[in-house]
Amino acid sequence: MVLDEPVSGLDVSIRAQIMNLLKDLQADLGLTMFLISHDLPGVRYLADVIGVMYLGELVEMGNADQVYNNPLHPYTKVLLSSIPMPFEEDRAKHERIKITGEVPSPLNPPSGCRFHTRCPFAMPICSEVTPESKETEAGHKVSCHLY
């Protein structure tokens, strides 16, 4: 099943009902769902395995706990730091990582690491060499020269 941004434009209560329905279908029918979304809390709620993509390339992959509790790729860290947090104590614990610049065209992507034009941790090698996917722990893979 492929769901492309299925619920993010809906009223919050309808959205919660649909998310719960999908969760029930997952459990009751043993379904495998493929969800493509920018709704990070929704992904956390539904997904067992998460792949993070930037400009059409997979930059990090792992189970939901690995990716949310120990994000490795700078783009994953940027995404997770952008989740709004209503409570001051949570905001104090999670520093917001901001990036600048526009998303480059996927038709003419940057050389080396595609994220290097916006990455706060970019090094000289990043614009020259495409990082390979490395497994840092069982099932948790990242494509970044920091590892």
Give the footprint of ligand SF4 on this chain (CB under 6 A).
Answer: 73-74, 113, 115-116, 119, 121-123, 126, 131, 144-146
Please identify, using beta-carbon distances, which residue of 85 and 103 lies nearer to ligand SF4.
103
In the complex with ligand SF4, the residue whose CB is nearer, 68 or 116, is 116
Q: By C-alpha distance, which of 55, 68, 76 is closest to 121?
A: 76
Q: Determine whether 114 is exposed, middle or buried from the number of CB atoms within 10 Å of its CB (0-12, 13-18, 19+).
A: buried
Distance in angstroms (rounded) separating the CA atoms of residues 53 and 59: 6
Residue 22 or 114: the one with the smaller Cβ distance to ligand SF4 is 114
3-class SS at 93? helix
